[in-house]
Structure formats: C-alpha cells, structure tokens
Structure 1
Amino acid sequence: MRHERRAALSRLRDLAITIAVALAGGLVAEALALPVAWLLGPVVAATILSLCGFQTRLPEALKTFAFFVLGIQAGSGVSPEIASQIALWPLSFVIQLGGVLLAVLLCYVYLRRLLGWDHASALFASLPGALSFVVAAASETKADMGRVVIIQSIRLLMLIAALVPLLGALEGGGAMTSSIRPAGDGGLFEYGLMFSLCAVTAWLAAKLNVPGGMMLGALIGSAVLHGTSVVHVSLPGFLALPSLVLLGIIVGSRLNGISLKAFLGLLAPALGCFALGLLGTGLAGILAVVLVDLPVPNVALAYAPGALEALTVLAFQFDIDPAYVAAHHVIRFFAIAMIVPLLAKRVSRREAREDGGREGTPGE
C-alpha cells in the first residue's frame, strides 16, 4: 500500500514538473517569436524531460481533453469554399500513397543494405506513422523493438522541427507566431451547438476505432458546422492554448523510457530515414502541386510522414485547410494499418524458414 502511494506521488510530481517545464518552453518560444510557439516550445521541453528520465506521459483524461478541443479548433478552419476542392482529393490520395511507398523503399534499402540491419527491424522502422499498429505487428517478429520505436519517434520530432519554420517561411516569414487565433463573435447557442455536436461525433469516431478518433471526430463535427456556415466561432484562447501545450507534451513523451545513450546511438540512422522519407514524399508532393494544382503548404502538411494530430493542428495554426490535411493522414494511416499485419505474417514465415534452415545445417 505504501509502495503504491509512493508511486502515485512520484507520478504526480513528474506530471506537475512536466506541465510546468512545458509551459516554460512555450513562454520561451513565444518570447523568441517562433512559429506555433505554444506547440513547439512544449515539444522541445517534454523531449528533454523524457530523455532525462522523467515520466512525461499524460493521463488518458488529459490526452482526451486535448484531442477533443484541438479537433474542434481544427474543424473551425474549414470554410464553404473548401467544398469546391474536394473533387481534386482522390488523385491527391493516389499520388500521396505512391510517395509513401517510395519513402518506405528508400528507408528500407538505407537501413538494410547500407547499415546492415536485419530485415524485420529495417522494414518496420521504415513505415511512416501508425506507430501503434507498427509496434504491435513488429512485436510478433524478431524485430529490434528499441530501434523501431526510437527511429519512428525521432522522425516525428524532426518532422515537426523542420515543418514549423518551413511553413512559417512559406506563409510569410514566421506567420502565426502567436499560436492562438481569435475566437470570433458568437453567442452561447453557437458554442453549445458546436460542443454538443462535436462531443457526439468524437464519441462515435472513438467507438468505431477511427485513427485519432477523438480528435478526428470532433474535427468532423466542427467542420460540418463551419463549412455550412451554421456557426462562425472558434475556441477561446483559455481552451486552445492549454490544449496546444498538452499536445506538445504528448509528442515529446514519445521518447519516454528511452535513454539518452540509446537516443544518440540511433540519431544518425533516424536522420537518414527522415531525409529519405522527405525525399520520397517530397517528390510525390511536387507531382501533386504540378498535376493537381494545389498550394505548396497544403501538400507539404498533407504528405508529411508524421502524426495526424500534430499535423492537423499545424494546418489550423498556419491557416491551411485542416480537412484536406487530416483526410490524407487518415488515408495513409488506414493503408499502413491494413498492410502491416500482412507484412508481419510474411516476416514471421520468413524468420521461421531461416530458423529451420539453420537448425538443419550440419555442425550448428
């Protein structure tokens, strides 16, 4: 009993330190006028704490709150004019998936052929996003789980670190430095309708196990209301800002439990995978800009091999169509989620054949 109480107090202490340091990171980033300061600062702060051994993972209730609020916020960036662009999305989806395939192949060859990684570890470390599915599938093989998780986590951190200044430059040299947009005029009825509908759609998406269900469901509800001009309000800053801080902690806590030595040991391979992943998706993005005639910032966020939640929030912060960005990441997520179990079975059979061959070799 005493041990459990001590563990609970330790967890509470780490949570308080994590939130305090994340807020400090946001203040520093805001003072430096960095783009999306209240997301970028907490990401850096939580990453450092994670590597220092602090327990930075948030309780599920706080994560649910953050995703729900940010989903509503992202959906408020959808306008009626977006409906005219939806017909272009299917071709964009096809081009995007081609870029994902190219990125996976480039990363796999790099890890397998140049660095000499085993087949399973190289394969699962090369798949962009859908980390929960990738880790679950990789655990059924002989893949080095530490390598897979670290490579995937560093790639996400590098992606955010690269995209934020890039988008700031594309949007006018550091636009959206405040991270928070005006809430707009609206009465209690509009706010009540927005929160009620979003609560229903978020709950349904979560129950249906939709990727990023709580956030994506809230986004859909908010997008319907704003896209049809039923409501015109966004979230007030006292809700939006804490949610951004919590999202930054969620991203930084991906490295929770990973030692600094392990992180540094795999930093070079992770940077190589990051660069090759950007090359593959970047070539697809150029093709989409040319063929589909879409804005460069939209394609950059939609094709980026990263997390749905973080990139959808970035879309809203930089005034980029969040529905377009979220739709592409959901498509990528579903494609990877469907193929990962098949890959795991194939890898397991291959490992079984190799083990059988070794057992049958004389002298072993």
Structure 2
Amino acid sequence: MTAFDRLGRLGFGMVWKRAAGQWAGLLALSAGLTLGLDAVALPAAWLIGPMVAAIALGVGGAVIRVPGSGFIGAQAVIGCLVAHAVTSDILLSIVQNWPLMLATVGVTVLVSGIVGWLFVRYGSLPGTTAAWGTSPGAAAAMVAMAGEYGADARLVAVMQYLRVVLVVLSASIVSHILMDGGAPAANAPVAPVEALDPLGFMATLAVAGVGGWAGTRFRVPSGALLVPMVAGALLQAGGGVTLQLPHPLLTVTYAVLGWSIGLRFTREVLGHAFRAIPQMLLSTGLMIALCGVSAWILVTLLPTDPLTAYLATSPGGLDSVVVIALGANVNLPLVLALQTLRLFVVVLSGPPLARLIARYA
C-alpha cells in the first residue's frame, strides 16, 4: 500500500467519523428539543424539534444531508397517514363547496402574486427571484423551475424553505392558542392506538414504497405524498385492508421530514442571501398575515372553526401543514381539500404568473 493510499483511507475515516458525530449530535439535539416542545404541549413538536435542530446544525456548518430517497419515503408515509385518517369526505367536501374553495385558493395565489410584484418592483432581489420565492407552496417544484426562467435558484430555495419553517412555527403556535386546552394526542405522532396488524403494516409499506416511487417517477406535483394518499384511500375503501402506522414509524418519519427541511439552511446559502433576509422575512410575514385575512373570510362564509380555516389557507408545505392538522381537532377533509387544490393551482400558475410579474414590475 502506497503512502497516498494510506492518506486516502485516513481522510475517508476522518470524514466518516465527522459525519457520524454530526448525526449523533443531531439525534441528541432533536430529542431534547422535541421533548421540551412536547412538554409545553406545542402541536407538531415531533416535526418542529428535529427541524429546528437541523437548522442549528446546518447553519453551524454540518455536512450531513438526508438522502433524497429518505425525504421521498417520509412524504409517502405521511400520505399513508392521511389515507388512514381521511375518507371520501374529501371529495364530497370539494363537490359541495368547490366555488368557495376555488375562490379561497385564488385569493391566496393573488396575494402571493401581489407580494412578489412588490418585491420585484421595489426590492433588491435579482430578476424574477421574488416572484418564484413568494409562491405559496410546492417549494421543491418552484426551486426546480426557477432557474429555467432566469431567477436565482439559491435565493428562491432560501425564500421557499424559510416560508415553510415560519408557516410551520406560526401554525403550531396558532393551533396551541386555539385548541381547547391542548389535547395530549396532538403532541404525539398521530396514529390510532391499536394492536399491530402485520397485513396492514405490510400494506402500508407497500403503498408508501410503490406510491412514492410512482409519484416521483412520473413527476406528479408532490406525487410522493399524493399518490400514496390516493392509493391508500382506495385500498382501504375497496380492498378490505386497514393501513397500520405504528408510533415508531411516525416518529422516524417526522424526524426525517424535519431534518430534510432544516439541513437546507446552510451557512453558505444564508451568507449568499444575508442582505435579502429582511425582505424575505417581511414577504413571508406579509403572506401569512394576508392568508390569515382570507381564513377569517372563510370562517364568515363557511360553517367552520377558525383553526380549520387558518390551516386550510396557510401558505406552507402540504406535508407539514397536514402533520399539524392531523394532531389538532379540525375539519381534516376541508384542510386537505384546500391544501391539495392550492398545490395544483400553484404548480400550474407559477411559471405564467412569474413571467407576468417580471413583465409589468
């Protein structure tokens, strides 16, 4: 063995030990934050704790990353969780209230367009970056498409995932305030306490695996979540099988989802976007506030509670908002219907809206 080979092996060993130490630190910090947030009855603590821990390590220079397959798998399990909890009431809710739902989604997209126009016109972000960065959902899709239309994909990524983090935190705080006393079930991974059915558990893994792969392979918007959700609901409705999601599976799923979001906030990315951080915070806060106004309008026009309306109109990621909704006493079909409808509208309207903003701003 040459000296070069020995140095190479030594370098690999040091990198491996460094990564192992960072994963151990992330696990310990995530556990501590999660238990602390759970102790104060904050909804979605099992998602927020790992996410905040990952942000701290990412900004601190950690080099570890959640593999893409891990993020896809986490979304697929969340899709199965939704399928387990939701019935055909979602379609019935859309059919009965589609004009109001479409108008609510349109208001959310219009609000994001106005905010994007203001920051393209008067802000310092380059090109159409602000237009893509203020899109109210489909973060991964917006980042992927932004570079093709002349925007800075790095700044778009920071804006999108900063929005996701702030929406998750604000929605959790609002849920904590509006829930009656904070039910204990809202703080733990949401799954019915029941004896584990091996057939149902294997069916869940199969639906998550095949559905997550199919949704990604055929490029369905948020397909890693939506395809398993639809497939799992159909299997439960017509296959005589009940999906099983034990608590350990959901604990790991929430942690992977939180880490996937948090580790994107690296020191380099934030350093590149440092001057624009105040604009990003202002635009995200403005979007959340205006969507809160649309939630108030929804409460006045539709017989629903304020928390359901707030979660249904929140401009966050579908997976993270659904996690919070599953842990709260809300009208889940309405939340899921509006969030899913908004997702597709945002993906379809994103490119033409960004071009329109760039032309007139």
2:229 to 219, 234, 253: 219
1:291 CA drift (Å): 2.7
User: Are 2:131 and 1:130 aligned?
Assistant: no
For structure 2, the residue ranges without an aligned partner over 5 or more in a row are none
User: Are 2:258 and 1:254 aligned?
Assistant: no
8 Å contact kept, 1:78–1:227: no
SS of the counterpart of 1:255? coil
1:187 to 194, 197, 201: 197
Equivalent AA in structure 2 for residue 251 of structure 1: I
Q: Sort the Cα spacing of 1:118 and 1:195 in 2 relative to 1 into closer, same or farther, 3 A.
A: closer
- Please give the alpha-carbon distance, in whole angstroms, between the structure 1 residues aligned to 2:129 and 2:91: 42
TM-score by length of 2: 0.82
User: Are 2:110 and 1:99 aligned?
Assistant: no
* Equivalent position of 2:158 in the other structure: 150
SS of the counterpart of 1:268? helix
* Equivalent position of 1:69 in the other structure: 77
Bigger drift between 14-23 and 50-59 goes to 14-23
* Equivalent position of 1:357 in the other structure: none
Equivalent AA in structure 2 for residue 328 of structure 1: L
**1:178-215, Cα deviation, whole Å (9 max, x unpaired):** 34443324633333444444544444333322222222
- Please give the alpha-carbon distance, in whole angstroms, between the structure 2 residues aligned to 1:32 and 1:263: 33
Q: Sort the Cα spacing of 1:292 and 1:346 in 2 relative to 1 into closer, same or farther, 3 A.
A: closer
User: Are 2:53 and 1:45 aligned?
Assistant: yes
**1:287-337, Cα deviation, whole Å (9 max, x unpaired):** 333333334333322221111211122222225455543443333333232
Q: Sort the Cα spacing of 1:15 and 1:322 in 2 relative to 1 into closer, same or farther, 3 A.
A: farther
User: Are 2:92 and 1:59 aligned?
Assistant: no
For structure 1, the residue ranges without an aligned partner over 5 or more in a row are 352-364
1:296 to 306, 321, 327: 306
* Equivalent position of 2:290 in the other structure: 280
- Please give the alpha-carbon distance, in whole angstroms, between the structure 1 residues aligned to 2:195 and 2:238: 17
Equivalent AA in structure 2 for residue 60 of structure 1: G
Q: Sort the Cα spacing of 1:146 and 1:168 in 2 relative to 1 into closer, same or farther, 3 A.
A: same
Equivalent AA in structure 2 for residue 102 of structure 1: L
8 Å contact kept, 1:302–1:326: yes
1:249 CA drift (Å): 1.0
1:1-364 alignment, distance < 5 Å: 2=8, 7=15, 10-79=18-87, 84-175=92-183, 176-185=186-195, 187-226=197-236, 230-231=240-241, 234-258=244-268, 261=271, 265-342=275-352
SS of the counterpart of 1:76? helix
RMSD: 3.3
- Please give the alpha-carbon distance, in whole angstroms, between the structure 1 residues aligned to 2:279 and 2:269: 16
Q: Sort the Cα spacing of 1:187 and 1:56 in 2 relative to 1 into closer, same or farther, 3 A.
A: same
* Identity value in percent: 24
1:169 CA drift (Å): 2.4
- Please give the alpha-carbon distance, in whole angstroms, between the structure 2 residues aligned to 1:138 and 1:268: 21
- Please give the alpha-carbon distance, in whole angstroms, between the structure 1 residues aligned to 2:142 and 2:88: 37
Number of equivalent positions: 350
Q: Sort the Cα spacing of 1:194 and 1:49 in 2 relative to 1 into closer, same or farther, 3 A.
A: closer
1:46 CA drift (Å): 1.0
Q: Sort the Cα spacing of 1:259 and 1:214 in 2 relative to 1 into closer, same or farther, 3 A.
A: closer
- Please give the alpha-carbon distance, in whole angstroms, between the structure 1 residues aligned to 2:95 and 2:59: 45
Equivalent AA in structure 1 for residue 286 of structure 2: L
Q: Sort the Cα spacing of 1:246 and 1:321 in 2 relative to 1 into closer, same or farther, 3 A.
A: farther
SS of the counterpart of 1:254? coil
Q: Sort the Cα spacing of 1:56 and 1:95 in 2 relative to 1 into closer, same or farther, 3 A.
A: farther
1:159 CA drift (Å): 0.7
Q: Sort the Cα spacing of 1:233 and 1:319 in 2 relative to 1 into closer, same or farther, 3 A.
A: farther
- Please give the alpha-carbon distance, in whole angstroms, between the structure 2 residues aligned to 1:322 and 1:243: 20
1:146 CA drift (Å): 4.1
Equivalent AA in structure 2 for residue 135 of structure 1: V
8 Å contact kept, 2:65–2:263: yes
Bigger drift between 205-214 and 257-266 goes to 257-266
8 Å contact kept, 1:180–1:241: no
Q: Sort the Cα spacing of 1:105 and 1:6 in 2 relative to 1 into closer, same or farther, 3 A.
A: same
8 Å contact kept, 1:56–1:256: no
1:172 CA drift (Å): 1.5
- Please give the alpha-carbon distance, in whole angstroms, between the structure 1 residues aligned to 2:57 and 2:324: 23
1:82 CA drift (Å): 5.3
